[in-house]
Structure 1
């Protein structure tokens, strides 16, 4: 079965099978992300995906069992990128402590969720296409450790009292998800986002006791 990308200038002798496989998968995910973000999951056909990716239909079904499986991979890659971007944004602004980092992280998260591809894929389509449990599972996989790490630092530095960190992290992550969903469905998204900044600030402040 041919799983190579059509039009590639790389000679098969110069690339391993694993490299070609990874490249084809990445190309499909990239094409899927562009199509799903602009048209929405329901309006994207598998034919449109293979044409955008420049691969054969056989390549698509070699890597993904169906369109939903590809969408799940797109969703997970976008979730991972979102968490990475939040972490980088926090590091770049060098907040004074873990609680300040948490407040900043919440705002960065809401700002990044305003991007059209994040709105459409993560907040509009993913809960419906993948189901609520699977959607939350991916968010927990990538974001929970970051939040729990900040809480651990906050306890160690005396910014918050000792408390069950894993449950607290789950509550904070759930609040952030709900905040992003609320903003994505608001008629005036800019106003809703600004209101959610204040709400998230109060939630973070509340865990200090």
Structure 2
């Protein structure tokens, strides 16, 4: 087996485990045992578990981006409706794929992507969100884009978590009204 193949198998198995049970129970020992490699072999491919989680975050970001892209592909022409669709898609994904969404937004690698624009640029899902916000606001003012991003992201992720924990039911009117108000205030 070549080096890239083993590395990809480790990432793929990690993503599979995240989809099934979330990331809390992932251990390097279990991953390596399931793949029939040693822990030492793991460290030939990754510096540590954080690097593995960064790669899993990038892969999941790309997968979610590809899943929601049909609803937002015309964002340059229709940025407001694309942003509404994006928000709804995220909330529905929290409802149907809670482990993935929780990992994608709240693991340390994902949190680093919010703090560091270079890392964030490698996350297609995060990048497209900021591009849609810029198009909706018709600006390239990074302060305004980032402020709006924080407000929208806070609502979408908070509401998505409430839905995933069955605290509230999905209410599209609430989602539409809230997202519209957040954009209109700009």
Q: What's the TM-score once normalised by structure 2's chain length?
A: 0.72
Residue among 165, 175, 182 paired with 1:203: 182
Deviation sequence 1:161-206 (CA, Å, 0-9, x none): x544423332333234323431354243552664444322322343
What residue in structure 2 maps to residue 105 of structure 1?
86
When Rg is computed on C-alpha atoms for both structures, the one with the higher figure is: 1
Report the more deviating stretch, 113-122 or 187-196. 187-196
Structure 1: 5+ residue runs without aligned partners? Answer: 5-19, 155-159
Structure 2: 5+ residue runs without aligned partners? Answer: none
> Is 1:25 aligned to residue 7 of structure 2?
yes
Residue among 21, 40, 53 paired with 1:58: 40
User: What's the CA shift for 1:74?
Assistant: 1.0
User: What's the CA shift for 1:57?
Assistant: 2.8
Separation in 2 of the partners of 1:177 and 1:54? 40
CA RMSD of aligned residues (A): 3.3
CA 1:174–1:153: 2 relative to 1, 3 Å: closer
Separation in 2 of the partners of 1:184 and 1:108? 10
Matches within 5 A, 1:90-169: 90-91=72-73, 97-114=78-95, 115-124=97-106, 126=107, 129-130=108-109, 132=111, 134-136=112-114, 137=116, 138-139=119-120, 141-142=122-123, 143=125, 145-150=127-132, 153=135, 163-169=139-145
> Is 1:183 aligned to residue 165 of structure 2?
no
